[in-house]
Structure 1
């Protein structure tokens, strides 16, 4: 998971428990923060619940993408999309073979390097989803 919103932000309020709910026998969870810590209870919970939590905020785009690639991430989830603090350019370097847009931006990324979006028929109506 990559986000600038691991902290006192609606995304973390909604998702703070998700990172610790994965089946650890099957899924190894790594969270990559693109913003520095706000020391909030939400940031601390996510840091504690994720198997790995890494701060990319001071890293260049290339270094961040290399780290993610070297970590062997199979599925990289973009929790920002095109919202404030997004580091979409990391995804453009394709550090993971599968890249998914979830939660933060409810629309197409319009980019071939984002293979999937998790959305429902309200956010992304079927007739619109078929275009592309």
Structure 2
């Protein structure tokens, strides 16, 4: 017999949360034997709460991502501590076992990890795209329909970016990166600017599409782009996040996806690989 306990590190019931998130939260809670919200507890208190439940295997899904409480694991609230999916780099902590695969964590790089590896066959990454985006993916769940087949009423309103519609229907190459801007190193950015400067011409008019996340980074990036004779208002497009329901439709409109050297991609890569995009990977 296996009992599943859910420990929420952030508030479970946020009034501002989208209805879809609330539905998922309710569904997950309904599948668990017990749910405990730990957001108001210190790391020591949270660890004591978990230990009191007699948990045999404790899985961390957050690592150092926003809202984590990774310090609670230092109190060893469970005999076996697993790190899975949310943070696939090393935590620098030696009491975790990382659930991974040989592609994400090659054996020859084991020396740079403090964690033990627990390899699973195939890919560690679980994607719900085939279920959540049936309107975008074909029956095999491997690609999206062509651009001209994706138009849906009200999509530009959901995007909140009317200029996207204009760009899509012009004959130009659209490069993109949907990683957060803080993941872009200077070397990374200058490489992209070189690509953009070479491919941009009066006939081609290549443009780079990025997220406004975080928005304050845009000014610095634009200043750096000027060294290459590029202008943000002319050569780049910064947009906000779009709703979950249409985000794959939006991303599939890009021609070539660029990856960040230092961080690479995680969920973002899964999105792009589900779309009919070429991908430019640097490691």
Shorter-chain TM-score bucket reads 0.7 to 0.9
SS at match of 2:10: coil
Offset, 1:130 = 5.2
2:73 is the alignment partner of 1:91: yes
Corresponding residue number in structure 1 for 2:53: 71
How far apart in 2 are the matches of 1:28 and 1:129? 32
Corresponding residue number in structure 2 for 1:129: 110
Corresponding residue number in structure 1 for 2:8: 33
How far apart in 2 are the matches of 1:112 and 1:129? 12
How far apart in 2 are the matches of 1:100 and 1:35? 19
Contact 1:75 1:100 (8 Å CA) reproduced: yes
Please identify the structure whose Cα radius of gyration is greater. Answer: 2
Specify every segment of 5 or more residues in structure 1 that has no aligned partner in the other structure, as ranges: 1-24
CA RMSD of aligned residues (A): 1.4
Corresponding residue number in structure 2 for 1:57: 39
SS at match of 1:117: strand
Offset, 1:51 = 1.0
How far apart in 2 are the matches of 1:87 and 1:128? 27
Q: TM-score, normalised by structure 2?
A: 0.36
Contact 1:107 1:123 (8 Å CA) reproduced: no
Contact 1:33 1:56 (8 Å CA) reproduced: yes
Offset, 1:109 = 1.7
How far apart in 1 are the matches of 2:51 and 2:45? 10
Higher relative contact order (CA 8 A, sep 6+): 1
Offset, 1:123 = 1.1
How far apart in 1 are the matches of 2:60 and 2:108? 24
SS at match of 2:27: helix
- After superposition, the C-alpha distances for 1:7-43 in whole angstroms (9 at most, x for unaligned) are xxxxxxxxxxxxxxxxxx2x11101001002361111
Offset, 1:73 = 0.6
Count of aligned positions: 106
Corresponding residue number in structure 2 for 1:101: 83
Corresponding residue number in structure 2 for 1:14: none
